[in-house]
Structure 1
């Protein structure tokens, strides 16, 4: 009987314990693979999320919040800034390209972003749309590929937006908002009375804003190709959409942010020095804010690394206990093999190959489970953070994971194998 057949027969003889050991290894490997793919996707997605725009200008507040809202469409903007800031930036000789952005509305949870159409050429080059054309008039929109796929929108479809940046459109959210509406009505009435307005006037103003959004209609004129960036889950339209929705006169028009592609790093530094902290305006280095986010992610990953280490230890213990049980059951069989002329090396190989076979089986199952988990989580991760995880990607970490798993299996096998190796054949048989 060959060594492989003997090892396989021994494992099937203890199929329940062998299955538990394989499961322990598989779960550990799957967790490590999923963590590796997620971390790499977050790093890659964060770095390419802002493109060539090394500087962003917005209302004073958190730089991280400004960058996340502007480029990743996460969270709320820090506020609005005067439209005159855009003119000041465009006149700067150290600025290559600058685009104003307005935001604050959504359609079924996807942000509506006002942006000059030149942004797409600067950001993605001369790429063709998946369908349709770029917008040219107020109310026309182009939508990200993920939005089109999720909502089933096509060229020529129309819709109305809603105020605010919400993360979902579930029935539970609507019910919660409806309940909060009733609870806050009395507080709003008191606030209106304190300000000298009647409650009816405050309600009329709120209802008038809702009516303004409902009466302004958007038309889909284009669909972006799959960009694998947060722009896939946004609705883009002209910068003046917010002014048109609210009917703002020229003197009251504001923008949310200005995306700046500087002609040089020195130019970006000079522009930041001029604008940062003046009249409620801040200028932030995009890469620095993204690095702060990645550092926070790395700190969380370190905590997960501790959990991963515990899983690895438990998997090693499971392999060790499985082989110790095998030694206890097969002492007489091993003694008989030795008396029949099998060498100590053969006995050594039977036990070490058993540990390696269990580990290899768990490794393969874990790799499949890890990639399956990445496939199941990719839509949720992209919907929440605009990070595109690649479930079919094979990274250098995979080789390290495979080598580490097999090494642990081998090390766990050495103790029981060495114990059998040292014993005399007659002692093995008599025991």
Structure 2
């Protein structure tokens, strides 16, 4: 066994070029099988963490997914507005802990300007927890066109407490040739939020009256809101409020957790299909290993003949081929695992920047790792024909001149 091991190492060293190609093929197959599910789980965990502070979302009737993506993550166009009295009714209802109005429609350098109230900053993960959104600098807004900005906005736009900036109409950054006087009226930064890793890091928060004023006399008169972030004194109150809102024709109530659960089901279906593709990729890698083993088997015939002439049995020769294959595949799988973690980390950071919330570091579970480790027995099985062929090599045929 020891002889076979050291002979396998020497053989691999002499075939360094072919070894590197095979190891790289196995590593790429391993990384391909793991990267997408790892990044998907990062997005899933990051989205849930970013929205866990919000109990119930009340918006105009339409798609629940669109409501969550637009109002909580600022990644979609809002469905529409709801009458102000819907918000007022929720706020004044018995058992209400907190009702926070949200109004969207403008942006600053691509960052959404969110009209709200100071109750926004009193939201908590649980009643006994401190406020989720904490000021790093300055103070909360007090008057129209005051603004509390997220950490990412402050960093990207180089804004400080006391800085001023001008917003623009619409939800995306664009060059406008003409803006009305209200849109050209500057905002003044009164506070900067501590980073949360969530979408509010890229938001500009201002009194909701500012949004109404900016959009003209009619908007100021109607005082419509895009959504209401609602929290009751107890869980039963949240469900009761959701039923009451959904029974009306003016608005709908959405549980962000349910939206994520539905999205997760769709994601799991896609991951199941990707798992099938991963098996195919790993199978191709196994065939690559088989081809490499077969090619090296032709090259090692003289070495095998010499070992047989020195007294090595068929079992030693058989073990030699499997050891070479096993070492090659193990190296490739280990490199692939490292590559998958690296790509998932870099890709997760880039995707998090794009989505506007921080993704958790990639986590390699045993269930995912087992996909890659499956390549080791596959590679050994692929090497069996060559290993059996090596045991039949005749010393007389390859050592006689």
Structure 2: segments with no counterpart, 5+ residues: none
Secondary structure of 1:114 counterpart:
strand
Cα gap change, 1:165/1:396 in structure 2, threshold over 3 Å: closer, same or farther? farther
* Residues 180-223 of structure 1, C-alpha deviations (whole Å, 9 max, x = no match): xxxxxxxxxxxxxxxxxxxxxxxxxxx5xx22354221222332
* Residues 126-177 of structure 1, C-alpha deviations (whole Å, 9 max, x = no match): 46433333333322222222333333333322211111112x66xxxx6xx9
Moved more, 350-359 or 292-301: 292-301
1:46 matches 2:47: yes
Counterpart of 1:65 in structure 2 is 66
Moved more, 55-64 or 42-51: 42-51
Cα gap change, 1:265/1:385 in structure 2, threshold over 3 Å: closer, same or farther? same
The equivalences for 1:344-423 within 5 A come to 344-391=314-361, 393-397=363-367, 399-421=369-391, 423=392
TM-score in terms of structure 1 length? 0.81
Shift of residue 86, structure 1, vs aligned partner: 1.6
Shift of residue 279, structure 1, vs aligned partner: 4.2
Q: Give the Cα separation in 1 of the matches to 2:39 and 2:160.
A: 32
Counterpart of 2:289 in structure 1 is 319
Paired residues of 1:161 and 1:214 also in contact (CA < 8 A): yes
Cα gap change, 1:341/1:268 in structure 2, threshold over 3 Å: closer, same or farther? same
Shift of residue 313, structure 1, vs aligned partner: 1.2
**Of the candidates 138, 141, 149, which is equivalent to residue 143 of structure 1?**
149
The RMSD of aligned alpha carbons is 2.9
Cα gap change, 1:225/1:52 in structure 2, threshold over 3 Å: closer, same or farther? closer
Counterpart of 1:22 in structure 2 is 23
Shift of residue 377, structure 1, vs aligned partner: 2.6
Q: Which runs of 4+ in 1 moved over 6 A?
A: none
1:160 matches 2:130: no
Shift of residue 81, structure 1, vs aligned partner: 1.0
The equivalences for 1:75-224 within 5 A come to 75-123=76-124, 125-126=130-131, 128-166=134-172, 207=178, 210-224=179-193
Paired residues of 2:18 and 2:292 also in contact (CA < 8 A): yes
Paired residues of 1:57 and 1:282 also in contact (CA < 8 A): yes
Structure 1: segments with no counterpart, 5+ residues: 179-206
Shift of residue 61, structure 1, vs aligned partner: 1.5
Paired residues of 2:37 and 2:271 also in contact (CA < 8 A): no
Counterpart of 2:225 in structure 1 is 255
Q: Give the Cα separation in 1 of the matches to 2:372 and 2:280.
A: 18
Cα gap change, 1:277/1:126 in structure 2, threshold over 3 Å: closer, same or farther? closer
Cα gap change, 1:288/1:380 in structure 2, threshold over 3 Å: closer, same or farther? same
Q: Give the Cα separation in 2 of the matches to 1:353 and 1:277.
A: 69
The equivalences for 1:232-311 within 5 A come to 232-248=201-217, 251-276=221-246, 278-311=248-281
